[in-house]
Structure 1
Amino acid sequence: MTTHGRDTLEIRPLEPLAVEFTSSWHYEAGVLIDEVNTPQGLAHWVGAYRSRLGMDAGTPVEVGAADVTTALAVRGALRDLLDALVDAAQPPDASLALVAERAQRVQEARVTWPPAGPRLEWPDGVRTMDIVAAQVCASAIRLLTSPRRDLLRRCPAPSCVLFFTALRTGQQWCSPACGNRARVARHSAKSR
């Protein structure tokens, strides 16, 4: 997706894949952007995260309208779980079940070690969206069941809907841009 003539997809390599997938829905310059709500957008997201998904550079990315529906359902379930964690609440049972069921598909992949180095091999016939859903849901389960879950935050900056892991002591925002936006909003409120 592009806005104001530039690609809005921002890859944060230190974030868990599940957090990155939920970040495919965000604000950019006050405009709500959904990176995966079209087959083209979903294919672009998959292409950008190909290596983190365990997909070779030559693996074709094939997605259609049904895959977008799946992607949106998975992302919604992930957001429910991350919201519940941050809010110290109980997530919807359906969201928990969907993530757990999709994560199990990771077991279909096997690790091989060709001369170029280790890689994941998915069985023939596994669809692109099945790989995406399996990997992001497995990432969510790893995050939710590890000590790193204590570092998960929801960005408090105005017009930000992103989650992030606070990897630095005192980190309050998902990015420096959000920190600046929050400080400007606070200054404007004081000036009024």
Structure 2
Amino acid sequence: MTNLAFALAATIKHDGHGGVADLLSTPEQASAWLAAQSADLGRFLPPSRAENLPNPDEMLRELVRMRRAVRALFARAVAPGAPSKADADQLMGVDEALTVVNAAAARLGTAELVWDEEPSSRWAYATEDPVNLLGGAVGRSVIEFMVGPDRQRLRACPAARCVKYFLQDDPRQTWCSPTCGNRERVNRHYRKRTGG
């Protein structure tokens, strides 16, 4: 299962033609993305909300706002390495991103201990508003990712036109995919041959 925050950051990618593709540019795309993330959303949201998130326009605005915060924190997490090229010049500040994430996570509520037959915990939701719940789910996911073991594996792909963050599976892995690695090797060979 992919971390919700990581999946949200990956909604910006290279378009294959030197530009950037935004996979959350319409409410329909946001709805499709949310449907694809239903399993991870279900970890954070009440069951009735995880399956039925209304008002796609508000959801899109909240997802884009949270994505800006996630990508800013990812850029900070890969430092001193360079951030993803997609938005390196327009990232929100780390302090602002932390404020956005923490405020969103707080909307979800807190964990509380309950004791039926055995002790267990459950979320005590602070709101029923679906936009606040969505932001809270992403916020909690960001916190979970940033304090978890995967943060140490987070990298920004250094390929010339790539805009992705990826999780390094092997210490020798430099690029997010073999395609980026091949493109960089071809570029390096071309520069050697042409002297440029």
Whole-Å Cα distance in 1 between the matches of residues 161 and 64 of structure 2? 21
Q: CA shift at 1:122, angstroms?
A: 9.2
SS of residue in 2 equivalent to 1:83:
helix
Percent of aligned pairs sharing the same letter: 28
Unaligned runs of 5+ in 1: 1-12, 111-119
More helix as a share of residues: 2
Give the corresponding residue for 2:8: 21
Whole-Å Cα distance in 2 between the matches of residues 132 and 170 of structure 1? 36
Number of equivalent positions: 170
The structure with the larger Rg is 2
My pick for the range that moved more, 153-162 or 141-150, is 141-150
User: Do the aligned residues in 1 keep the contact of 2:105 with 2:140 (CA within 8 Å)?
Assistant: yes
CA RMSD of aligned residues (A): 3.0
CA distance 1:35–1:122, change in 2 (3 Å) = farther
Give the corresponding residue for 1:10: none
SS of residue in 1 equivalent to 2:169:
coil
Give the corresponding residue for 1:71: 63
Given candidates 51, 54, 57, the residue that maps to 1:62 is 54
TM-score, scaled relative to structure 2? 0.73
If asked which structure has higher relative contact order (CA below 8 Å, sep 6+), I would say 2
SS of residue in 2 equivalent to 1:52:
helix
Give the corresponding residue for 1:149: 151
CA distance 1:47–1:185, change in 2 (3 Å) = same
Whole-Å Cα distance in 2 between the matches of residues 70 and 151 of structure 1? 27
Whole-Å Cα distance in 2 between the matches of residues 125 and 138 of structure 1? 16
